[in-house]
Amino acid sequence: MNSLNPRLNKYLVGVGLAESRRKADEIITAGRVSINGVAETNLATRVMDTDLVELDGQSGKKRKDIYIAYNKPRGLVCSHIKQGSSKTIFEELPIAFANLKIAGRLDKDSEGLMILSSDGDFINKITHPSSRKDKTYLVYTKQDIAQTIVEKLNAGVKLVDGVSKLKTTIIGKNATKVIISEGRNRQIRRSFETLGLTVIKLQRVRIGLYSNRRLAPKEFVFIKPEDVL
């Protein structure tokens, strides 16, 4: 076995069985990893191409960049770091996705479509202001929506971080469809609140070209970059 063969901890991260080398070391020393059917606890062990490495009887697969669409339920935080008692989306997703980058976060009280990927260039193409990728939301308010309110939202509402213009259309007594291409923090909620409206539900249903209404809460599917771009 030569130095080109990766250490066991690096291998586990590479195939999605551990989120970091530190976590991989913990898994290895706990006796949960086997090589060719034999438990391996030596942190210095290197893996050969012909070895079958398993964690709790499950093997991983080397892959290129991955892309997923995820239906975030209300109550989860879009962060890699735990915040208070609230769960993060990565606590609900498979461990292999622990380091994926997020294209457009949703606040804790919002729900709906998210795109995650290991491909930083892809994420940047969606999120950078110059890309102008539209995102579509369904917004439900405590109050009924008047056409005059919609006209004000479309004309532009002054917020502390600048004017917010939304492409808004009425789809129900207290429901609107909102399209935005920028992504300031809680922009839609703040715009509505400025006009005296309380948002009781905010759901993202489309990012760029991609929409999937069949995804259940907490469900994800693998996608391709061209599905979004």
Alpha-helical runs (H) found in 98-146 = 120-127
Q: What's the token pair of residue 152?
A: 């004000």
Q: What's the token pair of residue 144?
A: 């009924």
The DSSP code for 95 is G
Bridge partner residues of 35 (DSSP): 38, 53
Q: What's the token pair of residue 86?
A: 């609230």
Residue 109 known to be catalytic: no
Integer Cα distance of 72 and 92 in angstroms: 10
Integer Cα distance of 142 and 28 in angstroms: 52
Q: What's the token pair of residue 24?
A: 């991989």
Contacts 24+ apart (CB under 8 A), 146-152: 149/195, 149/197, 150/176, 152/195
Integer Cα distance of 119 and 155 in angstroms: 36
| Candidates 107, 119, 134, 227; catalytic one | 107
Integer Cα distance of 226 and 165 in angstroms: 28
Give the catalytic positions in this structure: 107
